[in-house]
Amino acid sequence: MTSTALVLAAKEFEDAARSRLLWGLTLVLLVVTVPQFHGMTGTSIIDGPVDAVAFFPQTFMNYVAPLAIIAAYRAVVGERESGSLRVLFGHPVTRRDVVVGKVLGRAALVALVLFVGTLGLGAVVFAVYGTLPVGLFAVMATYVVAYGVVWAAVTVGVSAAASSRLQAIAGLLGLFLFFGPFRLWSTVSVPLASLVFGGGPADGIDVLDPGTWPWWYPYVQRVNPMENFEMAREFVAGIAAPSVGSLGGPAVNAFGFGILLTWAIVPLSIGYWRFELADLG
C-alpha cells in the first residue's frame, strides 16, 4: 500500500460523502431491513435478544451485494469513461494505486453504510427486548461489515476489468442473479458436484434435512458467497455467545471463510491484472 492509494481513497470517500449516494444507500438499507427485522422478532424464528443479534446476517444477506454493487460498480470504469484517469495519470499515480485506492475508498463507504444498518437493527433489539448483548453485537457487526468489504472488493475487481460501465453492471448483476435469491447456483452446482463426488445423479437430497446431505453438499453450498455468509452466521455468533449452535463443523466453516477470502482476493486480482494490461485510450 502506498500513500498515493490513501490519498486516492480519501478523495474517493469525500466525493461519495458529498453525493447523495452514501446517505441514500443508508436510508434504503434501513427502510428494507428494519421493519422486516422488527416483524421477525415477533415470531418463533427469533427467540430472545441473543438469537435476534445472531440473526443479523440473515436479514442483510440479500442486500449487501446490491449495496456494494451500487456503491462501487463505477469505481474504476467510471473514471476510465469520464476521463478523470487521464488527469490522475499526470500525477505520480500507478494503475495499482488506482485499484488499491478504489478498494479502500469504496470498502470504507460500504462498511460505513452497513455499520449504520447494524446499529438500526441493534436499536430494534433494544426496543423489543430492553437489552442488547454488546459483545455479540460487536462480533456480528464486524462480520456484516467484513462481508460488505468482500463484495466491495469483488465489485471494484469487476469495475477494473470492465471497459464500460454497462459491462461492469451487467457482469455484477449476473453474479448477483447467479448466486442470489434465485438459487441458480444450487441448480447448477449440486448435480455437477454429485456427478464428480457422488458418481451419480443427486437424488434424495432434501435441502431442509441435513440427514440426507452427502459429505460434499455443505461445501458446495459454501462456495456461493451469499449462502456462505448466511450459513456461517451461527458459527460466528458462537464466538461471543456459545449458546448459539453452529451449522456445520469447524472444517466446513473454515472452508467457508477460506472461500470468502478467495472471493475478496481473486476477482480483484483478475480485475487489476486486466486493468494493468488494458489500453485506456
Q: Is 93 in the site for other proteins (CB under 8 A)?
A: yes
- Interface residue with other proteins among 42, 44, 91, 130 (CB under 8 A) is 91
CA distance 204 to 219: 18
Q: Is 1 in the site for other proteins (CB under 8 A)?
A: no
Q: Is 82 in the site for other proteins (CB under 8 A)?
A: yes
Looking at beta carbons only, is 71 or 244 nearer to other proteins? Answer: 71
The answer to whether 132 and 122 have CB atoms below 8 angstroms apart is: yes
Q: Is 79 in the site for other proteins (CB under 8 A)?
A: yes
Q: Where does this chain touch other proteins (CB under 8 A) — which range of 88-96, 112-120, 160-168, 184-192?
A: 88-96
How big is the chain by its Cα radius of gyration, in Å? Answer: 20
Q: Where does this chain touch other proteins (CB under 8 A) — which range of 14-22, 109-117, 150-158, 232-240?
A: 14-22
Q: Is 199 in the site for other proteins (CB under 8 A)?
A: no
Query: Which are the contacts of 54, defined by CB distance < 8 A and separation ≥ 6?
Result: 136, 140, 233, 234, 237, 241, 244
Looking at beta carbons only, is 47 or 276 nearer to other proteins? Answer: 276
Here the cell at position 38 is 422488527
Q: Is 23 in the site for other proteins (CB under 8 A)?
A: no
The distance of closest approach from Cβ of residue 97 to other proteins in the complex, given in angstroms and rounded to an integer, is 8
Q: Is 15 in the site for other proteins (CB under 8 A)?
A: yes
- Interface residue with other proteins among 88, 109, 240, 252 (CB under 8 A) is 88
For the four alpha carbons of 251, 253, 256 and 261, in that order, the dihedral sign comes to negative
Q: Is 18 in the site for other proteins (CB under 8 A)?
A: yes
Residue 195 has φ and ψ, to the nearest 5°, of -65, -45
Looking at beta carbons only, is 80 or 222 nearer to other proteins? Answer: 80
CA distance 110 to 115: 8
* H or E segment and range at residue 179: helix 165-179
Looking at beta carbons only, is 9 or 226 nearer to other proteins? Answer: 9
Q: Is 7 in the site for other proteins (CB under 8 A)?
A: yes
CA distance 96 to 76: 11
- Interface residue with other proteins among 90, 130, 199, 211 (CB under 8 A) is 90
CA distance 60 to 56: 6
Q: Is 87 in the site for other proteins (CB under 8 A)?
A: yes
Mutual orientation of helices 95-129 and 3-18 as an angle, nearest 10°?
A: 50
Looking at beta carbons only, is 88 or 175 nearer to other proteins? Answer: 88
CB atoms within 10 A of CB 47: 11
List helix spans (H) across 74-133: 77-82, 84-88, 95-129
Q: Is 163 in the site for other proteins (CB under 8 A)?
A: no
Name the residues that contact other proteins, by CB under 8 A: 3-4, 7-8, 11, 14-15, 18-19, 79, 82-95, 277, 279-281
